[in-house]
Amino acid sequence: MAGRPPAPGDGQPGLGDGRPALRDGRPGLGDGRPGLRDGRPGLGDGRPGLRDGRPGLRDRRPGLHSLTAGRGLLFGGDYNPEQWPEHVWAEDVELMRAAGVNLVTVGVFSWARVEPEPGARDFGWLDRVLDLLAGAGIAVDLATPTASPPPWLGHRHPGTLPVDESGHRLWYGARNQFCPSSPVYRERALALVADLAGRYAGHPALALWHVGNEYGQVCHCDVSAEAFRAWLRERHGDLDGLNEAWGTTFWSQRYGDWAEVIPPRRAPYLVNPTQRLDWARFCSDALLEHYRAERDVLRGHTPGVPITTNFMGLFKPVDSWRWAPEEDVVSNDWYPDPADPLFPVRAALTHDLTRSLGGGRPWLLLEQAASAVNWRPHNLPKPAGRLRLESLQAVARGADGSCYFQWRASRFGAERFHSAMLPHAGPDTRLHAEVRAHGAELRRLAEVAGQPVPTRVALVHDWPSWWAMEEAGRPSDRLSVTGQLLAYYRPLWERGVAVDLVPPSGDLSGYALTVVPNLYLVSDADAEALTAYVRGGGVLVVGPFSGVADPNGHIRTGRFPAPLRDVLGGSGEEWRPAPEDRPVRCAWADGTPFEARTWTELMRTEGAEPVAVFTEGELAGSPAMLRHRAGAGVAWYVATLPDHDALAELTGRALADAGVSGALPGPPPAGVEAVRRGPVLFLLNHGDREAHVPLAEPAEDLLTGARVEGGVTLAARAVVALRP
Ligand code: GAL
């Protein structure tokens, strides 16, 4: 069970692209599953790079520049030649060249092929593949094949197979079937990685290492339980510390012996929320430890070759703020649902997250679908033009490469109906023609490689807070972290305002506006930093149900949000989920009405201006939004879920407080995305209608070479990349 949870904004706790939960042995997120997870290094510390979107000057790690130098933007996909007879490989490489492919990911699921039986090595085929690619000038992102161990490993060592919450072992026959804490899995994986690295160090095709694939596995076995105990000892010291942190005086849960301490397993009723919170932290860390072990083996052999692992955007099980500093290059897989009307906003948010995880350095879109996927119940193809539109959107938001899953469509296996750059029907197809055309146009954007996306707005997102907020037994499960994130991001996107995501302990000094859609769990230090940010002149917007819990998930007593009460100039005493069958009526201070939904809070001002109030029911007259001048800055608090127009109005006011404007002098036409990357202004029309954007200065469209003056008219799904 596992896989990707649903996307932000859909009211469900989850992820990004609507993948069904439990798709491949990974725990489904919103399903009550034990998440993963803090103990976290202070953000600022481990985080790569800078706050203003520019790469850190002192950052000497290898990066994408070693790939883009001389190649320009990267274009390609997962290449699985082991699924094809060798005579097909030559055709592949010829077609890749014709399509402008300059980077392929090889070997992701090749463990059984390179180690057909325990200890054996069969690298001959891989030598030939890499030689062929090198001969064609195509760079290789070489994967450690450890995401899918061969059947012999599970058969001989069942302890390497993961166990679910109910104690059932998950079997081989799919992929991702490993226990992150299994010493046997670890040993076999590292031995293979060492041989792979030793063999291909210095190979002319090797340009990037790809560790594992989409980490997210969780295992509840006894070996994991032992590793969890060790992790807990580190975090809480002794059993007294653990009992205190987990609040075990509740329901007679006191632990008297470490052997009694277990992962959250299937139990008769609600499991201890702090146990689950620590488990989420642990699971992310356990995977990270394995990732690091593989990475260190690779680094030992090839210190100059950058290393990545492919993230899945807002993927709940992996605390990406802790992971990203451990990579040289941040990469992401992104599979928007073609049926999702908010896909451009969701995509932009995900791309901004990926860029921010790398501290603003260029990132890589490592996987996307050329057209339909095969894992939703009903898989719509991408309408014509969306392939390039989606790819260019990632480039506009800082990607130095746009790659696909996969190069050639599989004939067999679970993904036989997944689209590819080269469909079953062959190169003489509409889809492949789009792929070729896109490869050619990316070459014309070479100068964009390495350029930063400057931002003055920060959007705070935190994994531990996400885990804790969406734990069972809360006032309402209709309030979702990703839903709130998307709701607050959308008006910024609509105005063409560039945004970085930051962790709550991130350095906010470069940002004029910081938006905190939800920060349920907050440490004292992070709350103090947010307060100091406002007093020092920053503008802060805080959404509802924030500042509620401490890092152990214990409720902070006193009026809420206790640690932010002073800076917000107001406080509350009741969280009041609202009936879903009708809107909550509110009004701005001038009497203009608006509607909200789902959630209300009983607040009072303590120095803040009540910029909006509830206008009916028991809360009539009490504040729905507060604005407070504190020191040199301004803090806003929102005590409900305002509808989109009201949130857009609030965003406009907060931007005015911060003196921040978008990529254009005014908001772009509806459906048009405007973003600047270095000197280049990207305008992307996601709408189905033509749109006109007036321009103050003449420019050249890098995609066509056309000169643009006075303004530009964009057909539906058209994109321009304008350089003055
Ligand atoms: C990704 C995965 C690929 C392929 C793809 C299909 O999750 O990394 O191997 O399965 O999804 O959409």
Q: What is the pLDDT of residues 335-368, one digit of tens each?
A: 999 889 999 999 999 999 999 999 999 999 999 9
Structure tokens at 367: 């996987």
Contact (CB, 8 A) for 516 and 503: no
Active site residue 673: no
Active site residue 94: no
> How far apart are alpha carbons 71 and 93 in whole angstroms?
17
Which carries the bigger pLDDT value, residue 24 or residue 536?
536
pLDDT at 254 over 60: yes
Exactly one of 367, 471, 601, 673 is catalytic; which is it?
Answer: 367
Backbone angles phi, psi at 388, to 5 degrees: -75, -35
pLDDT at 9 over 90: no
Domain ranges of the chain: 457-658, 672-723
> How far apart are alpha carbons 178 and 171 in whole angstroms?
9
Homologous superfamily in CATH for domain 457-658: Class I glutamine amidotransferase (GATase) domain (3.40.50.880)
Q: Which residue from 310, 405, 419, 421 has its CB within 8 A of the most atoms of ligand 1, so it is best to mutate?
A: 405
Residue type, 46: G
Domains 457-658 and 672-723 share a fold: no
Closest C-alpha to 569, from 597, 545, 600, 542: 542
CA distances from 511 to 514, 526, 655 (A): 7, 16, 11
Ligand 1 centroid to Cα of residue 404, in Å, is: 10
pLDDT at 715 over 70: yes
Q: What is the reported pLDDT for 59?
A: 65
Cα-based angle 255, 216, 6 (whole degrees, multiple of 5) = 105
Q: What is the reported pLDDT for 22?
A: 35
DSSP secondary structure string for all residues of 259-294: GG-------SSPPPHHHHHHHHHHHHHHHHHHHHHH
pLDDT at 52 over 80: no
Homologous superfamily in CATH for domain 672-723: Golgi alpha-mannosidase II (2.60.40.1180)
Say whether 594 sits in a helix, a strand or coil: strand
Which carries the bigger pLDDT value, residue 47 or residue 150?
150
Cα 395 off chain centre by: 16
> How far apart are alpha carbons 385 and 403 in whole angstroms?
16
Backbone angles phi, psi at 499, to 5 degrees: -135, 140
Helices vs. strands in the chain: H and E counts, helices first: 19, 27
pLDDT > 90 in the chain, percent: 91
Torsion region of 542: left, alpha or beta (phi above 0 gives left; psi -120 to 50 gives alpha): beta
Contact (CB, 8 A) for 411 and 83: yes
- For residue 250, how many other CB atoms are within 10 A of its CB? 11
Residue 214 Cβ < 6 Å to ligand 1: yes
Atom 9 in ligand 1: residue holding the nearest Cα: 405
Q: State mean pLDDT over 184-188.
A: 98
Which carries the bigger pLDDT value, residue 339 or residue 470?
470
> How far apart are alpha carbons 283 and 216 in whole angstroms?
8
Q: How confident is the model at residue 60 (pLDDT cuts 50, 70, 90)?
A: confident
Q: How confident is the model at residue 457 (pLDDT cuts 50, 70, 90)?
A: very high
Place of tokens 């130098």: 69
Atom 11 in ligand 1: residue holding the nearest Cα: 405
Cα 221 off chain centre by: 28
Neighbouring C-alpha atoms within 13 Å toward the C-beta of 658: 28
Q: Which atom of ligand 1 is nearest to the CA of 335?
A: 12
Q: What is the reported pLDDT for 294?
A: 98
Rg (CA), the chain: 25
> How far apart are alpha carbons 624 and 642 in whole angstroms?
9
Mean of pLDDT over the chain:
92
Q: Which atom of ligand 1 is nearest to the CA of 374?
A: 12
> How far apart are alpha carbons 153 and 345 in whole angstroms?
42
Say whether 53 sits in a helix, a strand or coil: coil
Contact (CB, 8 A) for 37 and 278: yes
pLDDT > 70 in the chain, percent: 92
Q: What's the predicted TM-score (pTM) here?
A: 0.93
Q: State mean pLDDT over 142-162.
A: 98
Residue type, 64: L
Q: Which residue from 24, 211, 382, 415 has its CB within 8 A of the most atoms of ligand 1, so it is best to mutate?
A: 415
Ligand 1 centroid to Cα of residue 15, in Å, is: 15
> How far apart are alpha carbons 501 and 321 in whole angstroms?
10
> How far apart are alpha carbons 31 and 15 in whole angstroms?
12
Which carries the bigger pLDDT value, residue 32 or residue 654?
654
